Amino acid sequence: MKAAIGKASPKPSFANTTLRRTPAWLSSIASTIRTVDYVLGKEKEYFGLKKGKKTVWEAAEFLNTLVDDSDPDTDLTQTEHLLQTSEALRRDGQPRWMVLVGFLHDLGKCLCLYGEPQWAVVGDTFPVGCAWSDQIVYPEYFQNNPDRNVPEYQTKYGIYEPNCGLENVHMSFGHDGYINEVVKPYLPDEALYMLRFHSFYPWHRHGAYTHLMNDKDAVMLEWVKKFNPYDLYSKGHSKPNVQELKPYYDDLFAEFLPEKLDW
């Protein structure tokens, strides 16, 4: 069970911001807006999966209309990036469920096409409801987060118990948590950890938040680390041939997932 939530905090204002739409700009907004109340509200809004049914291909085609401001180093469509990631996993002989994770991992960014701003969907993630780690990207932006004024949220454990397990922690809302909810009934825990925590860099890259980990998290961390290089370094300039690859992925999707998923 997730911990009980303390008192509400006031909502911040973001009038007249002059930062450009860069990864730093996205982080500055996200670090200020992502409060406990905000996260709980978004979980309630989206984790019930009431946005209709789509196949994986339909979701990928839907996502192709998105230009990701947090990933400025590629001119690939979202589907092409997903295929680059999954094909790199496939070439290295990784398990088929892990190849599937490579294709699925960014599909949660379709939240942007439901009207969510990109700062709310992309970029690094972190726990809310406890003290922020200095390993979170651009930690200076938390000075404007209203949760700074809630004493309980500024303690080491905050609203959580020691070693409660990351599955019981409220993460800053984003595409990772959303795609995890979409496929949770169908994939093994290793896959779900890769999906939910692949942007949780303070944890899997910098070793932060170990005080919230349990034994399962320690085992799953190795799988998240195994996946991360494919997400970061599989992007190239050669574009995958979607039509040539489609039969393989049709079989892969059918092996693990229903024809249409709730989104």
* pLDDT of 138: 85
Name the pTM for this structure. Answer: 0.87
Work out the mean pLDDT of the chain and round it to a whole number. Answer: 88
pLDDT exceeds 90 at position 7:
no
pLDDT above 90 covers what percent of the chain?
Answer: 73
Q: Measured between alpha carbons, how far is 248 from 126 in angstroms, rounded to an integer?
A: 35
Q: What is the pLDDT of residue 231?
A: 86
- Least confident span in 47-51, 75-79, 130-134, 243-247: 75-79
Per-residue confidence at 74, pLDDT binned at 50, 70, 90?
Answer: low
Euclidean distance between CA atoms 63 and 224, whole angstroms: 24
Is there a contact between 80 and 246 (Cβ–Cβ < 8 Å)? no
More confident site: 31 or 179: 179
Q: What is the pLDDT of residues 142-165, one digit of tens each?
A: 999 999 999 999 999 999 999 999
Range of weakest confidence among 16-30, 77-91, 132-146, 205-219: 16-30
- Report which of 224, 116, 229, 227 is spatially closest to residue 173, judged by C-alpha positions: 116
Closest CA to 194 of 34, 51, 85: 85
Taking a C-beta distance cutoff of 8 angstroms, is the pair 30, 117 a contact? no
Burial class (CB in 10 A: 0-12, 13-18, 19+), 169: buried
What would the mean pLDDT of 158-187 be, rounded to a whole number? 98
Between residues 23 and 156, the one the model is more confident about: 156
Find the mean pLDDT for residues 215-224.
98
Least confident interval from 75-84, 132-141, 154-163: 75-84
- Radius of gyration for the alpha carbons in the chain, expressed in angstroms and rounded: 18
